[in-house]
């Protein structure tokens, strides 16, 4: 079953076209990796999926992006409700400069998910447990989230995102600022999270794409060159460009 | 030039550079020390006041009161203390001529009537007795006693005559000249007599003006800055607004005074000389300063925080109110304090809206006429009497303390917020 369907998506930054006619289906409860050289448009495409491109003034998006068969690019789409369903993890861990507890409780609070203090406590604990961070921070959840290590901060951001139970989680190179051990922890977590969420991850590391994803899309110069199961893309790509990129001939 | 020489040259250049920096700091400190020393050495005497303690005979006949009956408050209030005062002064020198009696009178502040009356009201038992009463000395003798006034110049160029000095020295020998803390400097409004003039009116005027200014400028500036920085589309129109705000910050303050005069007083008919009008005028002047500071601090908030909040499904407004604004608050407050400090020291626009008027009442609300501290300095600096010289410096000291207090407050608030957010 397809969770997300993108049809004829074009993106312009001012006069410069960043994405050309992207058509891509994303399966539910799978990890889809988007790979490609720098500046190929994979992050831009990711940001089309929760309309984060709205933030950039000069960015214009056209085409249809359907999530659960609903076109999110309509004028009257409520981006707040969209982003409640489609969470996002960024390249650089960006916890709020507040306590660990407040970082997680923020989402449920603004969306009115928790009815009482104890319910909120439960959500915070559950989210931290799911993000494999609970054991490390349970004694200091009222200390600043910014005091954690880089890997912990990124897991805190993941916990923050899953606190409102999004259906889709977008990850924009979530491990690029982390060391190998923290990266391994996050990758393990991604595999765990896909049971309840559909995950789309942009990554520079082909080995990471191979490790964590079931499907892979390869972008080059703003075009989606090839998409398919990770196995197939890595072992038996149909396009020469994909073959060249995967074997390290460019990129 | 070989490598070794280049290295030596680089070290020397580095040392020179540091020396210039230190010299600059030394210069700045030197100016500050000279300035403060001058202010304090001239001004500290204003916090002391000279009193003459003279024997007063509260004789019933002199007061035209019934000697057999204890006078009521009303009787005392109705009694004539002017003639009584003159008689009392004559007792200092029973042989005084007509002219000398006038000189004796001029040794005391013109409030002697009131002071004599209030003493009796406070001590009704003194009726019919001779008691020592403390009377404010005239500013001329006050200055002589403080050593601010030379005694060795020819009499015709002095304000205190030889005769007055003779009587004064005799009182001094008897220990009847005392110097005490000048509480009236803080509790009195302005006066034409230096020995009675105080800063209560101008202090309250400044305080009210600043409060009015803050309560208008801060919210307006904050909203304008937040809208321009976070919500407004970036186009020619917003560029135009930005240029105008920056220009506004550079407009001479006197222009704002003219605006206050022409619009607030002439068109809206607000009461002249009041802190309300002063505060509104100052807030126009402070507005661009706060807007610029607030925008700069909003710009400094990392975009990643905004993205984090937006990606959590926070609306634009929630993102701004919950995350961006609190993070920008310390910087905004610093800008606000800088703006208010400027406003506090501003003289020109206040003169134009009439806060330069002689106000001898203490304002109870921003709608009452008042002076302000910098204008008070200006008024006193213009006055001829020697006694106002020390008052000017003392008023500057009060203004400086006001500023230090404000900056300290800002520092504390800043510190508190920064601790919370980092």
Q: Give residue-wise pLDDT tens across range A199-222.
A: 999 998 889 999 999 999 999 999
> pLDDT: is B110 or B291 the higher one?
B291
Q: What is the CA radius of gyration of chain A?
A: 18
Rounded to a whole number of angstroms, the distance from the CA of B274 to the nearest CA of chain A is: 44
The partner residue sitting opposite A52, judged by closest CB among B234, B311, B422, is: B311
Interface of B with A in 303-322 (CB under 8 A): 304-315, 318, 322
Q: Which residues of B touch A78 (CB under 8 A)?
A: none
Q: What is the chain B residue with the closest CA to A145?
A: B422
Where do the structural domains in chain A lie, given as residue ranges?
Answer: 2-246
Least reliable range by pLDDT among A36-40, B61-65, B175-179: B61-65
Q: What is the pLDDT of residue B233?
A: 86
The per-residue pLDDT for range B146-157, each reduced to its tens digit, is 888 888 888 888
Q: How far apart are alpha carbons A116 and A101 in whole angstroms?
A: 15
Residue ranges, comma separated, of all CATH 1.10.3720.10 domains in chain B are 200-421
ipTM: 0.91
Q: How far apart are alpha carbons B105 and B292 in whole angstroms?
A: 59
Q: What is the pLDDT of residue A251?
A: 57
The verdict on A161 touching B (C-beta cutoff 8 Å) is yes
Find residue B132's DSSP bridge partners. B55
Q: Which residues of A touch B309 (CB under 8 A)?
A: 96, 106
Contact B422 A161 (CB under 8 A): no
Q: What is the chain B residue with the closest CA to A55?
A: B307
Least reliable range by pLDDT among A131-135, A202-206, B110-114, B151-155: B151-155
The partner residue sitting opposite A96, judged by closest CB among B233, B318, B323, is: B323
Q: What is the pLDDT of residue B305?
A: 93
The verdict on A107 touching B (C-beta cutoff 8 Å) is yes
- Residue B218 CA to chain centroid, in angstroms? 23
- In CATH, the number for domain B200-421 is 1.10.3720.10
Q: What is the pLDDT of residue B162?
A: 87
The verdict on A226 touching B (C-beta cutoff 8 Å) is no
B125 confidence band (pLDDT: 50, 70, 90): confident
The partner residue sitting opposite A94, judged by closest CB among B234, B304, B318, is: B304
Interface of A with B in 55-84 (CB under 8 A): 55, 57, 80-84
Mean pLDDT of all residues in A80-94: 93
The per-residue pLDDT for range A26-50, each reduced to its tens digit, is 999 999 999 999 888 999 999 999 9
Mapped onto helix, strand or coil, the DSSP state of residue B133 is strand
Contact A97 B305 (CB under 8 A): yes
Q: What is the pLDDT of residue A187?
A: 93
Contact B307 A81 (CB under 8 A): no
In percent, the amount of chain B with pLDDT more than 90 equals 43
Q: Which residues of B touch A94 (CB under 8 A)?
A: 302, 304-305, 307-308
- Residue B278 CA to chain centroid, in angstroms? 15
Residue A25 Ramachandran class (φ > 0 left, ψ -120 to 50 alpha, else beta): beta
B422 confidence band (pLDDT: 50, 70, 90): very low
Q: If you average pLDDT over every residue of chain A, what do you get?
A: 91
A-B Cβ pairs (cutoff 8 Å, strict): 64
Q: If you average pLDDT over every residue of chain B, what do you get?
A: 89
The verdict on B146 touching A (C-beta cutoff 8 Å) is no
Q: Say which CATH class A2-246 falls into.
A: alpha beta
Question: Is the per-residue pLDDT at B26 higher than 70?
Answer: yes
Q: What is the pLDDT of residue B63?
A: 80
Q: How far apart are alpha carbons B165 and B322 in whole angstroms?
A: 71
The per-residue pLDDT for range B309-364, each reduced to its tens digit, is 999 999 999 999 999 999 998 889 888 998 999 899 888 999 988 888 888 888 88
Q: What is the chain B residue with the closest CA to A98?
A: B421
Q: How far apart are alpha carbons B216 and B279 in whole angstroms?
A: 8
Q: Using a CB cutoff of 8 Å and minimum separation of 24, what contacts does A10-18 make?
A: A10/A61, A10/A62, A10/A63, A11/A41, A11/A44, A11/A45, A11/A48, A11/A53, A11/A59, A11/A60, A11/A61, A11/A62, A12/A59, A12/A60, A13/A56, A13/A58, A13/A59, A14/A58, A17/A222, A18/A44, A18/A222
Q: What is the pLDDT of residue B321?
A: 94
Q: How far apart are alpha carbons B60 and B68 in whole angstroms?
A: 9
pTM (predicted TM-score)? 0.83
Angle, CA of A99, A100 and A106, to the nearest 5°? 85
- Residue A76, classified by CB atoms within 10 Å of its CB into exposed (0-12), middle (13-18) or buried (19+), is exposed
Contact present, A4 and A32 (Cβ < 8 Å): no
The partner residue sitting opposite A90, judged by closest CB among B234, B307, B318, is: B307
Q: Which residues of B touch A95 (CB under 8 A)?
A: 308
The partner residue sitting opposite A107, judged by closest CB among B304, B313, B327, is: B313
Q: Which residues of B touch A90 (CB under 8 A)?
A: 304, 307-308, 311
């Amino acid at each position: 079953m397809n969770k997300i369907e993108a049809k004829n998506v074009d993106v312009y930054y001012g006069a410069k076209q960043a994405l050309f006619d992207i058509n891509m289906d994303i399966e539910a409860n799978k990890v889809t990796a988007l790979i490609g050289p720098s500046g190929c448009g994979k992050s831009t495409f990711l940001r089309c999926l929760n309309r984060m491109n709205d933030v950039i003034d000069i960015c214009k998006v056209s085409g249809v992006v359907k999530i659960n068969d609903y076109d999110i690019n309509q004028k009257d789409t409520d981006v707040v409700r969209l982003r409640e369903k489609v969470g996002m993890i960024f390249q650089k861990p960006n916890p709020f400069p507040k306590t660990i507890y407040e970082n997680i409780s923020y989402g449920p609070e603004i969306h009115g998910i928790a009815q009482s203090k104890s319910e909120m406590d439960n959500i915070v604990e559950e989210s931290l447990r799911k993000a494999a961070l609970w054991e490390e921070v349970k004694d200091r959840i009222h200390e600043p989230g910014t005091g954690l290590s880089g890997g912990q901060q990124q897991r805190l951001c993941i916990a923050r995102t899953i606190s409102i139970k999004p259906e889709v989680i977008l990850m924009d190179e979530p491990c690029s600022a982390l060391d190998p051990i923290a990266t391994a922890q996050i990758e393990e977590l991604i595999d765990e999270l896909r049971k309840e969420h559909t995950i789309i991850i942009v990554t520079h590391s082909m080995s990471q794409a191979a490790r964590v994803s079931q499907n892979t899309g390869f972008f080059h110069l703003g075009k989606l060159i090839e998409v398919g199961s990770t196995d197939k893309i890595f072992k038996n790509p149909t396009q020469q460009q994909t073959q060249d990129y995967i074997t390290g001939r460019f990129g | 030039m070989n490598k070794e020489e280049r290295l030596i040259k680089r070290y020397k250049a580095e040392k020179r550079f540091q020396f210039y920096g230190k010299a600059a700091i030394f210069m700045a400190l030197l100016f500050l020390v000279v300035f403060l020393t001058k202010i304090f050495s001239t001004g500290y005497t204003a916090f002391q006041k000279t009193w003459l303690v003279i024997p007063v005979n509260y004789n019933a006949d002199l007061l035209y009161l019934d000697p057999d009956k204890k006078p009521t408050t009303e009787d005392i209030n109705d009694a004539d203390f002017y003639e009584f005062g003159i008689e009392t002064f004559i007792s200092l020198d029973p042989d005084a001529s007509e002219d000398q009696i006038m000189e004796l009178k001029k040794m005391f502040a013109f409030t002697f009537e009131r002071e004599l009356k209030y003493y009796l009201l406070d001590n009704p038992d003194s009726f019919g007795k001779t008691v020592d009463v403390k009377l404010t000395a005239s500013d001329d003798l006050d200055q002589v006693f403080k050593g601010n006034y030379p005694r060795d110049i020819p009499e015709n160029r002095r304000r205190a005559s030889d005769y007055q000095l003779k009587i004064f020295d005799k009182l001094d020998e008897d220990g009847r000249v005392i110097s005490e803390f000048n509480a009236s400097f803080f509790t009195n409004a302005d006066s034409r007599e230096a020995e009675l003039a105080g800063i209560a009116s101008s202090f309250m005027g400044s305080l009210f003006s600043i409060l009015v200014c803050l309560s208008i400028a801060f919210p307006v500036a904050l909203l304008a800055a937040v809208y321009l920085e976070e919500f407004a589309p970036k186009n020619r129109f917003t560029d135009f607004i930005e240029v105008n705000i920056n220009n506004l910050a550079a407009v001479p303050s006197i222009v704002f005074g003219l605006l206050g005069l022409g619009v607030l007083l002439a068109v809206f008919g607000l009461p002249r000389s009041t802190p309300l009008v002063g505060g509104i005028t100052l807030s126009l002047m402070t507005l661009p300063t706060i807007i610029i500071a607030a925008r700069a601090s909003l710009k400094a908030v990392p975009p990643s925080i905004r993205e984090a909040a937006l990606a959590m499904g926070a609306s634009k407004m929630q993102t701004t109110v919950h995350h961006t604004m609190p993070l920008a608050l310390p910087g905004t407050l610093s800008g606000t304090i800088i703006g208010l400090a400027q406003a506090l020291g501003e003289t020109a626009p206040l003169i134009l809206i009439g806060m330069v008027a002689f106000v001898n009442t203490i304002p109870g609300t921003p709608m009452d006429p008042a002076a302000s501290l910098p204008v008070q300095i200006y008024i006193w600096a213009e006055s001829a009497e020697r006694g106002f010289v020390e008052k000017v410096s003392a008023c500057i000291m009060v203004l400086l303390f006001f500023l230090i207090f404000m900056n300290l407050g800002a520092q504390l608030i800043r510190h508190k917020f920064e601790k919370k957010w980092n």
